[in-house]
Amino acid sequence: MKTPKRAQSATSLPQAPRDDAGSRFTKYMVMMGVRIACFVLMAVVQPYGWYTFVFAAGAIFLPYLAVIVANVGADARSATAEAPERMLAAPAPAAASPAPAAPTVIRIAETPRLDAPRDDRP
pLDDT more than 90, % of the chain: 30
pTM for the structure as a whole: 0.51
The whole-chain average pLDDT of the chain stands at: 77
Pairwise pLDDT comparison (93 vs 18), residue with the higher score: 18
Non-local (6+) Cβ contacts of 42 within 8 A are 52, 55, 56, 59
Give yes or no for residue 79 having a pLDDT over 90: no
Give yes or no for residue 112 having a pLDDT over 90: no
Give yes or no for residue 51 having a pLDDT over 60: yes
Average pLDDT estimate for 106-112: 77
Say what the pLDDT of residue 65 is. Answer: 92
Pairwise pLDDT comparison (59 vs 88), residue with the higher score: 59
